[in-house]
Amino acid sequence: MPEPASRWSAKGLVLPLIVVAAWLAVVDSGWQSNPLLVPLKKIVLAPFVDEQGQRVWLALGGSVLRASAGFLIGSLLGIALGALAGASRTSRALLSPGLHGLRQVALFAWIPLLTAWFGNGEAAKIIFIALATFFPVFLNTERGVQTIPTALKEVARVHGLGRWRTLRRLTLPGALPSIVTGLELALMIAWIGTVGSEYAMGAGRGLGAYLATARDVFRMDLVIAGVLILALSSYALSRLALHAFARLTQTLRA
């Protein structure tokens, strides 16, 4: 029998509390003195009372907006081309070999090419995030459309459903579990890609650039605070995504 969600939440706090207790015992007590180990109080207060630390909130907002734009573009393209490749043998023959080949390229290997073409500005980052989003959505959509039972397709033909009604009533609902899986995976990859691209390309506002700047000036309190905010925002993003995709599933199946 599954345990209540509240109990799972309580269990999830055990490891963070152990880490906090160990940090207090080792660093805040003065037992170990090292420039890389910053007192916990200083880390916690940095985003609120330190002038440079407060910039993390603007950086977080910039990353969220950038990730949202890239995710939206990549998801729409992935669903559209994935549905096309899954539903049509001709389209699959034209699209799938090339796209399946390109997805073998390591994600961050695209950065030198994108920066050469588009520079280090906003366009290169959003294209990179869209690229990171596109492949998992495309692959899962294609697979989901292909696995729709043939009997259901025959029913649609017998009833004379047009292409749009078939897409609305059969294709998308039938492929929905696979599409949602692709979107969930793509969202996490897009968030990683967002912070990674900001860190690698440097220019502009974002958590990745914030962490790189804090590292360069050797402000370990800001680096650790930024990493913690990144972890918490990632968790919050995944929880919001689960609720949003559940609502999307209910809406499309209604």
pLDDT of 163: 63
Same domain, 72 and 33: no
pLDDT by residue (tens digit) across 68-90? 999 999 999 999 999 888 878 88
Q: What is the pTM of this model?
A: 0.83
In a domain, 116, yes or no: yes
In a domain, 242, yes or no: yes
Domain carrying residue 23: 1-37
Same domain, 123 and 184: yes
Distance in angstroms (rounded) separating the CA atoms of residues 126 and 132: 10
pLDDT by residue (tens digit) across 78-137? 999 998 888 788 888 888 899 988 888 888 899 999 999 998 888 999 999 999 999 999
The residue assigned the tokens 């907006």 is 65
In a domain, 42, yes or no: no
Q: Is the pLDDT of residue 30 over 80?
A: no
Same domain, 24 and 61: no
Same domain, 28 and 120: no
Provide the CATH number for the domain around residue 216. 1.10.3720.10
Distance in angstroms (rounded) separating the CA atoms of residues 209 and 43: 19
In a domain, 86, yes or no: yes
Q: What single string gives the DSSP state of each residue in 171-207?
A: IHHHHHHHHHHHHHHHHHHHHHHHHHHHHHH--SSSH
Q: What single string gives the DSSP state of each residue in 101-112?
A: HHTTS-GGGGHH
The residue assigned the tokens 């207090």 is 24
Residue 72: partners with Cβ closer than 8 Å, 6 or more residues away = none
